[in-house]
Amino acid sequence: MLVGVDLGGTKIQAVALDGTEVVAKKRLATPAAGGEELPAAIASAIRELGVDIDRVGIGAPGVIDVASGTIVRAPNLNVASTLPLTTAVAAALGISSADVVLDNDVNAGALAEQRLGAASGSRDALCVFVGTGVGGGLVLDGTIRRGPRGLTGEIGHVVVRDGGRRCGCGGLGHLEAYAGRRCLEDEARRLHEGGRQTALVRIAGDGRMKSSVFEKALDEGDEVALALLGEAVEALGAALASAVALVDIELIVLGGGLAGRLGAPFAARVDDALRARLFVPSLQVPVVPAALGDLGGAVGAALLAA
């Protein structure tokens, strides 16, 4: 059986895949200590699936060296230095490390959507995950494009307004600065400190401004939330128009924590914003919500192991 694992900052999701069907799934909390404790926790989640293991795929956030199966840097996982994950997981499971592969979690999620999800039937797909940050995976001719440095799909750092709002990476005017949850929170708190009232800060208090906070503030008709999400929609439209011009994509899948929470109406607004910016107005490039939800990353990791 193919096993896929989505290694996240708060949870480890494992699935067993029989052909295209998920036949077992198991979710565990990610060990808070992270780092060295991760391989054993991943192996536990896999063993609890209770299936015969043929090959294992793991998707992880951060900087991944696919060739060596190593996490190079992953602040969300408390991985301080390089972690040779495939070797360690294989050892914990008593299988060959040649049967374990590691890739970026957004690549895994994108492959899953292209093979079995919202983009099934398309040879090419751009999957954009709008959550704390904005990431993406690009499937071209049925294969994940990684690129020489494994950086393909970093649509969060596409420039939408040169010289504009500062991004977490330090750059100016990137998509993520307008559409990533963390940057939206920063902007909302800046506006609040400048004297603007907003339900975003009232609901979140001093805690993290989660996706659900944005949803509630929008439901209240909060002006700051409406304005910020309006800018996010326009920025997504611009970045996606650039992606279509550059690599000619037929379909865009929108997923991730924030986009998932805001659902189909949000995808429809981004679809409009993209359509208004296509350089060939008659082009059809639908923007559709991701279909696989929380399991997408793990399913994609299993597909990567195939």
CA angle 238, 240, 245 (to 5 degrees): 95
- In 3-state terms, what secondary structure has residue 195? coil
Any contact of residue 67 with its own copies (CB under 8 A)?
no
The residue from 189, 210, 216, 277 that contacts its own copies (CB under 8 A) is 277
- Of 189 and 277, CB closest to its own copies: 277
Any contact of residue 294 with its own copies (CB under 8 A)?
no
Count of beta carbons in the 10 Å neighbourhood of residue 276: 12
In the complex, least distance from residue 91 CB atom to its own copies, rounded to whole angstroms: 32
The residue from 75, 142, 147, 265 that contacts its own copies (CB under 8 A) is 147
Q: Can you read off the two tokens belonging to residue 146?
A: 């990684």
Assess contact for 217 and 200: CB atoms under 8 A: yes
Count of beta carbons in the 10 Å neighbourhood of residue 54: 14
| Residues contacting residue 264 through CB under 8 Å, at least 6 positions apart | 289
Segment near its own copies (CB under 8 A); pick from 191-199, 211-219, 247-255, 288-296 = 247-255
- Of 105 and 234, CB closest to its own copies: 234
Any contact of residue 248 with its own copies (CB under 8 A)?
yes
HSE-CB at 301 with a 13 A cutoff on CA atoms is 35
Any contact of residue 62 with its own copies (CB under 8 A)?
no
- Of 59 and 173, CB closest to its own copies: 173
HSE-CB at 124 with a 13 A cutoff on CA atoms is 12
- Of 107 and 211, CB closest to its own copies: 107
Provide the binding-site residues for its own copies, judged by CB under 8 A: 123-124, 136, 138, 140, 145-163, 167, 169-174, 234-235, 238-239, 241-250, 277, 279-281, 283
